[in-house]
Amino acid sequence: MRTPAEYLESIRDGREIWFRGERVDDVTAHPELGVGARNVAQTYEIEARPEWADLFWVEEEGHRISRFYKIPRTPDDLLCRHEAIEHLTREARPGLALISKEIGSDALFALLITAQDVDRKCGTRYFERVRRYYEYARDNELDLAVAQTDVKGDRSLRPADQPNPDTYVRIVERRPDGIVVRGAKVHTTDAVYAHEVIVLPTRAMTERDRDYAVAFAIPVNTPGVRLIASARGFTGQSPFDSPVAHRFRVVESVTIFDNVFVPSDRIFLAGEWEFAGDVAKTFVEFHRFTACAYKPPLLEALAGLGALLAEYNGIERVPHVRDKLARLIMYLATVRGMTRAAALDCRIRNGVAVPNPVLTNAAKFYFADNYHAAVKYVQDIAGGLVVTGPGTEDFNHPALRPLLDHYLSGKAGISGEERLRAMNLARDLVASDLGGYLEILAIHAEGSLETQKLTVLMDTDLGPLKAYARWLAGISAERPSGRPFLA
């Protein structure tokens, strides 16, 4: 297994990263971007802890492989994957996507499934390529980013109808030994820290969109790959002011493919437009499951913080506060419970266990649709000090600290310092640039709200539900057999 230092060394490879208008020579040494690189490096240390060996490592065909690269074959495999993602996130980067192995393996599982169908229908040989690439990634413990979301231009138009033909990544040249691609993807999480990037189509395509139906994987330092790292997101000021944001960073990028050559053995879809939608959808079936596994630690933090602030302010027995705490706990339990149910009720497709799509999408939607309400509950319980409190410098001043400790104390036994630290965690999570980032992440990351509804409808047979209603209404005498709805 790689050490954290070896990981950091492995991404010093000349990749082209831009940040705040400047070319970044070494992402690991950069004052801001380096924070995220160290976060990813820390996952290697966490996964190496002997007490968690059973969670993060599995034996397969005589080899010890990362849990994240274990192809799920059973409900139990998915439950273990869920547990590992949740645990690693809680330890390494609470509330923030830890995608270094998880998102990449989501894409590889999807490609291992879809490539078999493409090969059967089109006579291609993608499955063998995907299998070999999967083994390469697994055996070399690659950190992979997934660039699926295209810039998309006019959302009402299909790729081939866009006035600007480069708003979806496309094939611009076919050669005997590979393809040349051009275009840009957006929001690519942590590509700046990944070894390689997997590119997938973002939507279903028609025959006219043939050149846009493309999937492949390439090293991040491939010539022509340009990453413009986002200067948005969040920056922590100090451990006191920003207990979470000062230690953690996630970086999205505009990921430009400027006439990039992709060799044949790294191409997993190239023109088979009928399968673009299936590749996109199968990836998100895994990826929304992963998303719902990394969310609970954030919801634990919100529920815990709500309870702590209620206690510090002496309002833990007040009915409206108990109502809000109960809602925070039910929110956490529902997201986690539905995701685990999606694992238990998985579907086996081409030998791979796919989390139940209706339950997975319901969990993701429920998470996203209720996130702002959860933020509101914590803001309400906390009070205004979340945004009006003193800063690190005041707190560290010898003349001011005793005053703050005395005057800002809470209920008996709770010092001003304890109360301020809890308030600062609240500001960090629900009233800061990190808080805003988390709200947008909740709504859009892993697909905006509407995409979950679309998937749920796509994967639900309304026929038996209507038959049940017809029988109840007396329209049909035929009593439907069995459960009308099987998620």
- Residue 230 binding ligand FAD, by CB under 6 A: no
Span near ligand FAD by CB under 6 A; candidates 49-57, 175-183, 415-423, 443-451: 443-451
Instruction: Assess contact for 67 and 80: CB atoms under 8 A.
Output: yes
21: buried, middle or exposed (CB in 10 Å: 19+, 13-18, 0-12)?
Answer: exposed
- Residue 356 binding ligand FAD, by CB under 6 A: no
> Could you tell me the smallest distance in angstroms from the CB atom of residue 454 to ligand FAD?
9
Q: Pick the closest to residue 369 from 449, 302, 288 (CA basis).
A: 449
For the chain, the first-to-last Cα distance in angstroms comes to: 39
Q: Pick the closest to residue 190 from 233, 134, 224 (CA basis).
A: 233
What are phi and psi for residue 242, nearest 5 degrees? Answer: -135, 75
Q: Which of 89, 100, 148, 313 binds ligand FAD (CB under 6 A)?
A: 148
User: Tokens representing 262?
Assistant: 């992709």
Give the three-state DSSP class for 151.
Answer: coil
Q: How many residues bind ligand FAD (CB under 6 A)?
A: 20
Dihedral of CA 424/426/431/436: which sign? positive
Q: Which of 77, 106, 209, 252 binds ligand FAD (CB under 6 A)?
A: 252
x/- letters, 176..195, toward ligand FAD (CB under 6 A): ---------x-xxx------
77 vs 102, beta carbon nearer ligand FAD: 102
- Residue 2 binding ligand FAD, by CB under 6 A: no
Q: How far apart (Å, rounded) are the C-alpha atoms in residues 143 and 11?
A: 10
145 vs 171, beta carbon nearer ligand FAD: 145
Q: Which of 2, 87, 131, 152 binds ligand FAD (CB under 6 A)?
A: 152
184 vs 309, beta carbon nearer ligand FAD: 184
200 vs 404, beta carbon nearer ligand FAD: 200
> Could you tell me the smallest distance in angstroms from the CB atom of residue 348 to ligand FAD?
26
Q: Are strands 267-270 and 57-60 parallel, antiparallel or unpaired?
A: unpaired
Q: How far apart (Å, rounded) are the C-alpha atoms in residues 65 and 70?
A: 7
- Residue 448 binding ligand FAD, by CB under 6 A: yes
Q: Which of 400, 403, 440, 465 binds ligand FAD (CB under 6 A)?
A: 440
Instruction: Assess contact for 436 and 379: CB atoms under 8 A.
Output: no
- Binding footprint of ligand FAD on the chain (CB under 6 A): 146-149, 152, 155-156, 185, 187-189, 252, 440-441, 444-448, 450
